[in-house]
């Protein structure tokens, strides 16, 4: 079968190569999936560059944690799935750190066999391409807004950037009746975010101290929820942007440290900082129920063909995207 592999020791996109492997056979507890689509996340760029958790890969590894397809074979002990079922893989398989794409083989392949406990049915109205955006970005945004301080109608939600997690957070927050503020360096992207329901937008290139704009837009109160996707470089701003008893969901690792990382600014607000590493299967099930009830459609920027997977990586790294980048298989 056709696959892509990130070669052992890879430190650049040149380490992503097309290859051949034998078509797998499902074990007793496994399902064999004909993968139809997979999506990229920032971690996939980090993995191919040798910058992800644990450093460069120690073996040739099929990349991408997020993929969806149809079941074409089932093991003897599998009872919850049958041939023809449309399924999506969960980010983690069994334990929180047994994640697809690294250290486990991922979904950028024509076929994958996974334990039946590591897949879920696709929400009925979603395509394979749309379902493939959910496991990492969708579940992460759902975790940020429904665990810890749960978003409520009338809350203010600040989300940073216009990548996959941020746009899922925008859609989910609006679904919950919240008021959403979103940032970007592109006015064009901010207009597209408004079309999705964003109430307020901030161009952080024009307003580098964007927390001041957040305070102005929230009547001096700050945001009830901050979906923090920048990382160390934006955290000092988020400390000042969060409101009394608010919560910062720390997700991103995109920026280098800039300013005082001490959370002292949050002390008098009684605010909290909560680290998020995607989420478990139960959270994924909750997201899928919300999608089905509310008819949410993931935002896909571009769908690349399997032959163009290297170009898909380059496009994601360019940061020109608005929403998710998907590869059709």
Q: Which of 117, 122, 133, 134 is nearest to 85 (CA)?
A: 122
Distance in angstroms (rounded) separating the CA atoms of residues 152 and 9? 46
Distance in angstroms (rounded) separating the CA atoms of residues 234 and 15? 30
Q: How far apart are the first and last CA of the chain?
A: 12
Token output for 313? 């990586």
Note whether residue 284 is domain-resident.
Answer: no
Q: Which domain holds residue 164?
A: 137-275
Note whether residue 289 is domain-resident.
Answer: no
Distance in angstroms (rounded) separating the CA atoms of residues 211 and 222? 8
Answer yes or no: do 59 and 186 share one domain. no
Answer yes or no: do 143 and 178 share one domain. yes
Answer yes or no: do 55 and 159 share one domain. no
What element of type H or E holds 274?
A: strand 272-275
- Output the average pLDDT for the chain: 95
Answer yes or no: do 105 and 70 share one domain. yes
Strand ranges (E), 132-265: 156-160, 179-184, 200-203, 223-228, 242-250
Note whether residue 175 is domain-resident.
Answer: yes
Distance in angstroms (rounded) separating the CA atoms of residues 230 and 258? 11
Confidence of residue 20 (pLDDT cuts 50, 70, 90): very high
**What pLDDT shows up at residue 259?**
62
* CATH code of residue 123: 3.90.180.10
Asked if the model's pLDDT at residue 158 lies above 80, the reply is yes
Least confident range of 222-226, 263-267, 275-279, 288-292: 263-267
Confidence of residue 231 (pLDDT cuts 50, 70, 90): confident
Distance in angstroms (rounded) separating the CA atoms of residues 111 and 46? 24
**What pLDDT shows up at residue 260?**
66
* CATH code of residue 156: 3.40.50.720
Asked if the model's pLDDT at residue 137 lies above 90, the reply is yes
Answer yes or no: do 38 and 54 share one domain. yes
Partners of residue 173 on adjacent β-strands: none
Token output for 219? 């009547």
Q: Which of 123, 161, 168 is nearest to 279 (CA)?
A: 168
Note whether residue 291 is domain-resident.
Answer: no
Answer yes or no: do 111 and 13 share one domain. yes
What is the per-residue pLDDT across 281-323, written as a single tens digit (0 to 9) for each? Answer: 999 999 999 999 999 999 999 999 999 999 999 999 999 999 9
Note whether residue 17 is domain-resident.
Answer: yes
Note whether residue 185 is domain-resident.
Answer: yes
The CB density around residue 83, as the number of other CB atoms within 10 Å, is: 11
| Arithmetic mean of pLDDT, 13-35 | 97
* One-letter-per-residue 3-state SS of 39-91: ECCHHHHHHHCCCCCCCCCCCCECCCCEEEEEEEEECCCCCCCCCCCEEEECC
Query: What b/e sequence results for 121-160 when a residue is b if at least 16 CB atoms lie within 10 Å of its CB, and e otherwise?
Result: ebbeebbbbbbbbbbbbbbbbbbbbbeebebeeebbbbbb
For the chain, how many structural domains are there in total?
A: 2
Asked if the model's pLDDT at residue 256 lies above 70, the reply is no
Alpha helices in 49-200 (DSSP H): 128-131, 139-146, 164-175, 187-196
What is the per-residue pLDDT across 68-90, written as a single tens digit (0 to 9) for each? Answer: 999 999 999 999 999 999 999 99
């Amino acid at each position: 079968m056709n696959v892509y592999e990130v070669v052992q020791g890879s430190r650049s996109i040149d380490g992503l190569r097309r290859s051949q492997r034998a078509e797998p056979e499902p074990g007793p507890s496994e399902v064999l999936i004909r993968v139809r689509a997979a999506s990229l996340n920032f971690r996939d760029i980090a993995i191919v560059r040798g910058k992800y958790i644990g450093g460069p890969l120690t073996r040739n590894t099929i990349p991408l944690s997020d993929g969806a397809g149809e079941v074409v074979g089932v093991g003897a002990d599998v009872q919850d799935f049958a041939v023809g079922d449309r399924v999506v893989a969960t980010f983690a398989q069994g334990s929180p750190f047994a994640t697809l794409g690294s250290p486990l083989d991922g979904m950028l392949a024509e076929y994958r066999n996974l334990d039946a406990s590591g897949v879920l049915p696709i929400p009925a109205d979603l395509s394979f391409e749309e379902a493939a955006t959910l496991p990492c970005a969708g579940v992460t945004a759902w975790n940020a807004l429904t665990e810890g301080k749960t978003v409520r109608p009338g809350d203010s939600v600040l989300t940073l950037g216009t990548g996959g997690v941020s746009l899922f957070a925008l859609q989910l927050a609006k679904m919950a009746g919240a008021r959403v503020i979103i940032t970007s360096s592109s006015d064009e992207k901010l207009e597209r975010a408004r079309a999705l329901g964003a109430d307020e937008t901030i161009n952080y290139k024009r307003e580098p101290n964007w927390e001041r704009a957040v305070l102005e837009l929230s009547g001096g109160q700050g945001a009830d929820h901050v979906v923090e996707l920048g990382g160390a470089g934006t955290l000092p701003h988020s400390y000042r942007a969060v409101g009394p008893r608010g919560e910062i969901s720390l997700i991103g690792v995109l920026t280098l440290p800039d300013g005082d990382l001490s959370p002292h600014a949050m002390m008098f607000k009684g605010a909290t900082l909560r680290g998020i590493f995607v989420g478990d299967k139960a959270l994924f099930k909750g997201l899928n129920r919300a999608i089905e009830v509310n008819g949410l459609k993931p935002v896909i920027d571009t769908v690349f063909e399997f032959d163009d997977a290297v170009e898909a990586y380059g496009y994601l790294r360019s940061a020109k995207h608005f929403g998710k980048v998907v590869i059709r298989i």
